[in-house]
Amino acid sequence: MKQRLIVRPEAELDVSEAAGWYEHDRPGLGHRFLDELDELLERIERSPLQFPQIEKGVRRGLLRRFPYGVYFAVGTRHTVVLAVLHLRRKPGSWKSRK
């Protein structure tokens, strides 16, 4: 069952910063990052329980070509994206967003 996906402002800022960094590094790469992220968010929205639970109440989906994870919580009516973070930088920083 498809649940409504809510992206918190902090996660939106994560996305904006990452896409900007990639676009600055190589034109067009930021757009590819966003396209891949959109695909993952659609998968999360369609079937959030397919992703592993990494801590009680929090699951993580991984981008395929970029070293980023999408951290999210599944509720009864909606799924909340808590963070979109680089996997090697501040790996536990999403915990303060629960």
Alpha-carbon distance 10 to 55, whole Å? 20
Q: Do strands 78-86 and 4-7 pair parallel, antiparallel, or not at all (unpaired)?
A: parallel
Residue 38 parent element (H or E): helix 29-46
Whole-number pLDDT of residue 1: 61
Alpha-carbon distance 43 to 98, whole Å? 21
Give average pLDDT by consecutive 10-residue segment, the chain, 98 residues: 88 97 96 98 95 95 97 94 90 74
User: Which class would CATH give 4-87?
Assistant: alpha beta
**What are the domain boundaries of the chain?**
4-87
The angle at the Cα of 31, spanning 73 to 14, to the nearest 5 degrees, equals: 35
